[in-house]
Amino acid sequence: MRLDKYLVHTNTCTRSEARNLIRSGRLLVNGAPPKAPDLKINEGLDLVTLDGREIKYEEYSYYMLNKPAGIVSACEDKREGTVMDFFKNEPCKGLFPVGRLDKDTVGLLLITNDGDLAHRMLAPNKHVWKTYYTELESPLSDGDLEKLKNGVDIGDETPTLPSRPEFAGESRDKVFLSIHEGRFHQVKRMFEAVNNKVVYLKRVTFGPLKLDETLKEGSFRKLTEEELETLK
């Protein structure tokens, strides 16, 4: 890989800035200043440093974000803050959120630049399960729970597919709901279909990933090797 491309991919600088950075003497490759931006870099062997700090190359990066409320699940938005604002200083280009959480929904969001993985996680025919913790306006009856389990009419052409609802402990106004579809505002609309209303919504699983409860809202971390292996 060319050195200037390496610098761009690791979010060090833009391609137009690379030449000036190389001339500055602050950048070293294997301890020596490079002479040109087209210097070939072996990503697995060569050591690239800027001001003494190693610039590591990763083809793909994977992060778990505990999304806070009030933030849009998008790469950019002209009016709102987005989840990608948290990743401005991460050394990787092309990151994006895998799927969306509503603006007022919190919890697990996968951030990556691996398009193939994102497709596998989101493709309807893959049936990837997602679990949400919900707090409701009113207690849920056993009958309503059964309706949710079998699928409900949320105003679309077809009812929702069968889901997996269960009470969160003894309280009937706190429910875990697992679904493997991704319709617009689906969880909220499913509870509306049984004459209830979601007042708090948090995604706690996405496929095999489980939200790290030690992550505060607005915090993120890289996936562990075990999580990544399970995900792939």
Instruction: Report pLDDT for 2.
Output: 92
> What are the beta bridge partners of residue 40?
2
Q: Rounded to whole angstroms, how far apart are CA atoms 3 and 8?
A: 9
- Given a cut of 50, the residues of the chain with pLDDT beneath it are none
Same domain? For 202 and 213 the reply is no
Q: How far is CA 135 from the centre of its chain?
A: 23
**Residue written as tokens 């049936």?**
127
Residues 6+ apart with CB under 8 A from 66: 106, 107, 108, 109, 211, 212, 215, 216, 217, 218, 219, 220
Same domain? For 192 and 143 the reply is yes
CA-CA-CA-CA dihedral for 222, 223, 226, 231, to nearest 10 = -150
Same domain? For 115 and 135 the reply is no
Q: Which domain holds residue 97?
A: 62-123+209-231
Same domain? For 113 and 75 the reply is yes
Same domain? For 223 and 168 the reply is no
Same domain? For 28 and 92 the reply is no
Instruction: Report pLDDT for 30.
Output: 95
Same domain? For 119 and 69 the reply is yes
Q: Rounded to whole angstroms, how far apart are CA atoms 115 and 22?
A: 31
DSSP assignment of the chain: -BHHHHHHHTTS--HHHHHHHHHTT-EEETTB--S-TT-B--TTT--EEETTEE----S--EEEEEEPTT-BSSS--SSS-BGGGGGTTSS-SS-EESS---TT-EEEEEEES-HHHHHHHH-GGG---EEEEEEESSPPPHHHHHHHHH----SSSSPPPP-EEEESTT-TTEEEEEES---TTHHHHHHHTTT--EEEEEEEEETTEE--TTSPTT-EEEPPHHHHHHH-
**Residue of 4, 102, 114, 144 with catalytic role:** 102
Instruction: Report pLDDT for 61.
Output: 92
The total number of structural domains in the chain stands at 3
Same domain? For 114 and 155 the reply is no
Question: Which CATH number do you get for residue 39?
Answer: 3.10.290.10
Respond yes or no: is residue 156 known to be catalytic: no
Do 6 and 13 touch, CB atoms closer than 8 A?
A: no
Same domain? For 78 and 118 the reply is yes
Question: Which CATH number do you get for residue 222?
Answer: 3.30.70.580
Q: Rounded to whole angstroms, how far apart are CA atoms 163 and 134?
A: 14
Same domain? For 7 and 26 the reply is yes
Same domain? For 69 and 105 the reply is yes
Same domain? For 191 and 144 the reply is yes
Question: Which CATH number do you get for residue 201?
Answer: 3.30.70.1560
Burial class (CB in 10 A: 0-12, 13-18, 19+), 144: buried
Instruction: Report pLDDT for 56.
Output: 86
Instruction: Report pLDDT for 10.
Output: 86
